C-alpha cells in the first residue's frame, strides 16, 4: 500500500518502484549511494528532488544543486547524475555581493539588487560574454527568480571562485548575483549541464517556501 508523506512523495516497495524518484525510499538510497552526507544534507537533497519531480519540460536524469545555506569556503555546487547515482562535479560557487559576505543571507529577484535568487531553474544556451563562456538560466518561479534572464544571471567561471582565493581571504569573492565557479572547470561543467537540466539553489529563507510552488516544508 502506498502512503503519502508531507513532502508530496510516497513510500513504496523497492521492487515495484526501483527507479521511481517519487518514492522516498529510493531517494534515500540514491542519496546514500552518492556518498555526500558530509557535504549536502539529506533535507536539501530531498527538496531538490521534490521540485525536480514537478518540472515537466526538463532534460531528465541530472540535477545541479547549489546550497547557499553553507558558507562560501565549503564546496556547495553539486552536479548529480541521478540515473547512475554519482556526483559528477563538486566544487565552490559564489553568491551575490549584496547577499552577504561569507554566507548568503539575503536573496532577491530584483534587477540591480546584486543578490542571489533561490529556487528552481532550467539551464538554457551558452554564449561568450564579458565573463567568458557562460550559461543562461531560466528562472521558473515568479517573484523568486523569474527575472534571471533580464538580470543576466548565468553560470560562468571566475578567478575569485577558486580554492586559492578562498585560502587567501577566508571566503570566495562575490558576484553581481551569478553562481560563478572555478575557471579551470567552468567550460566542462557548463557543457555538461546545458540544454534544459534542472538547477536548484537552496538557502536559509523561510519566505521562499511560502511562495514556491515546487517545494513546501
**Do residues 180 and 161 make contact, with C-beta atoms less than 8 angstroms apart?**
yes
Cell numbers for 70 = 553553507
Among candidates 209, 201, 215, which has minimal Cα distance to 122? 201
Angle, helices 24-34/42-54, rounded to nearest 10 degrees: 130
Question: DSSP characters for 36-63?
Answer: -TTTS-HHHHHHHHHHHHH--SS-TTEE
Domain locations in the chain? 58-211
Q: pTM of the entire structure?
A: 0.92
User: Counting beta carbons within 10 angstroms of the beta carbon of residue 22, is it exposed (0 to 12), middle (13 to 18) or buried (19 or more)?
Assistant: middle
Cell numbers for 103 = 554566507
The CATH number that domain 58-211 falls under is: 2.40.440.10
Q: Which residues contact 149 (CB under 8 A, 6 or more apart)?
A: 136, 137, 138, 139
Q: List per-residue pLDDT tens for the chain, 217 residues long.
A: 333 333 455 555 443 333 578 888 999 999 999 999 999 999 999 999 999 999 999 999 999 999 999 999 999 999 999 999 999 999 999 999 999 999 999 999 999 999 999 999 999 999 999 999 999 999 999 999 999 999 999 999 999 999 999 999 999 999 999 999 999 999 999 999 999 999 999 999 999 999 999 997 7
Which DSSP category does 31 fall into? H
**Do residues 70 and 93 make contact, with C-beta atoms less than 8 angstroms apart?**
no
Residue 122 and residue 38: Cα distance in Å, rounded?
Answer: 27
Amino acid at each position: 500500500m502506498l502512503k503519502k508523506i508531507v513532502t508530496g512523495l510516497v513510500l513504496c516497495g523497492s521492487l515495484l518502484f526501483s527507479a521511481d524518484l517519487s518514492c522516498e525510499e529510493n531517494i534515500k538510497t540514491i542519496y546514500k549511494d552518492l556518498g555526500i552526507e558530509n557535504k549536502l544534507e539529506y533535507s536539501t537533497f530531498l527538496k531538490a528532488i521534490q521540485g525536480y519531480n514537478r518540472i515537466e519540460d526538463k532534460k531528465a536524469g541530472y540535477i545541479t544543486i547549489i546550497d547557499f545555506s553553507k558558507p562560501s569556503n565549503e564546496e556547495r555546487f553539486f552536479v548529480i547524475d541521478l540515473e547512475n547515482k554519482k556526483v559528477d562535479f563538486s566544487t565552490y560557487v559564489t553568491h551575490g555581493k549584496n547577499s552577504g559576505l561569507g554566507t548568503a543571507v539575503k536573496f532577491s529577484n530584483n534587477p540591480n539588487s546584486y543578490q542571489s535568487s533561490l529556487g528552481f531553474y532550467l539551464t538554457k544556451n551558452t554564449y561568450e560574454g564579458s565573463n567568458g563562456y557562460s550559461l543562461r538560466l531560466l528562472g521558473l518561479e515568479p517573484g523568486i527568480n523569474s527575472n534571471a534572464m533580464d538580470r543576466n544571471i548565468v553560470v560562468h567561471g571566475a578567478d575569485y571562485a577558486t580554492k586559492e582565493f578562498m585560502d587567501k581571504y577566508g571566503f570566495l569573492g562575490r558576484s553581481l548575483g551569478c553562481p560563478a565557479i572555478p575557471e579551470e572547470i567552468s567550460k566542462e561543467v557548463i557543457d555538461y549541464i546545458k540544454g534544459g537540466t534542472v538547477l536548484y539553489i537552496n538557502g536559509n529563507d523561510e519566505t521562499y517556501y511560502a511562495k514556491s510552488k515546487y517545494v513546501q516544508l
